[in-house]
Chains A and B, each alone.
Chain A
Amino acid sequence: MFLKNYIGDIFSSIKSLLTGMKLTGYYFTHLKEIVTEEYPDNRGTLKMAERFRGEVIMPHNENNEHRCTGCQACELACPNASIKIVTKQETQPDGKKKKRIDTFVYRLDMCTFCNLCVNACPSEAIVMGQKFEHSVYDKKQLKKILNFPNSKLMEGVEE
């Protein structure tokens, strides 16, 4: 009985070792499996993951219109105050005065890319962008204004 267990142990362990060697051997002979990204060389063809969080951006359409209503939900949601929204009163064509954003200040140097602002936004005005090459020589350049100059609120977002 002891001898049977002993020999059984040897064969089962050899089998498990060979299983491991089979996997590494497979990788060794199948070089197309290599996952290394040769980053600075493949910049042109680099594909980031869909859910990658590079920075907060505010998409604008072709008429220079964004979807931000200036509700400041993102500013409240931000855990480290990277977002600051400055609002202004704007006279509409029908004569009414409404709150609109003046500047959407986003401080990339403070951002932890936690995605809470994007989750908080009720009108899907901000999303996470894919760009990740943010290095600059001056820290001030990391303070960004997300709404384009003279941009407007898109029709029908506020209702």
Chain B
Amino acid sequence: MMYLDEETLTQVTSDICTTMLGLPMYPVYDGLVEHTPLTAQVRISGEWNATVEIATTPKVATLIAAQMFSLDPSQIQTADLYDALGEVANMVGGNVKGIVNGELDLSLPSVSERDTQTAGAVGETTVVQMICLEGPLIVTLSESN
């Protein structure tokens, strides 16, 4: 089964944020120190099992939601943050699934207030760190059982 490298995962995420949201995004290679307490996750299952996680700060999630829903950031509620970040995870997961190909299903996204967790990873893990709207956005793709 094909696996995605950092460059491809960065491209997929960047395409979604720039095409759908019009948000500039660029990769960071030296490591981000900022805490990212908001995480959206989707699971890919079937011939290949993996998890896609999007982790960011509430501030970045607010700005993504504002852009996605054409609202002022001051109008964004917690539910909006969850919806927007979940949809970004859904699109990244869906596009990853399309690249990997095969008989695969995509779960509904879940969003929680915690850092990225890859404890269930059993194989390859790809992590890309990006700056989106002056804040961190970390995408983790990890193979799982």
Whether chain B is bound by chain A comes out as no
Which of A's residues lie within 8 Å of B, judged by CB?
none
B positions within 8 Å CB-CB of A: none
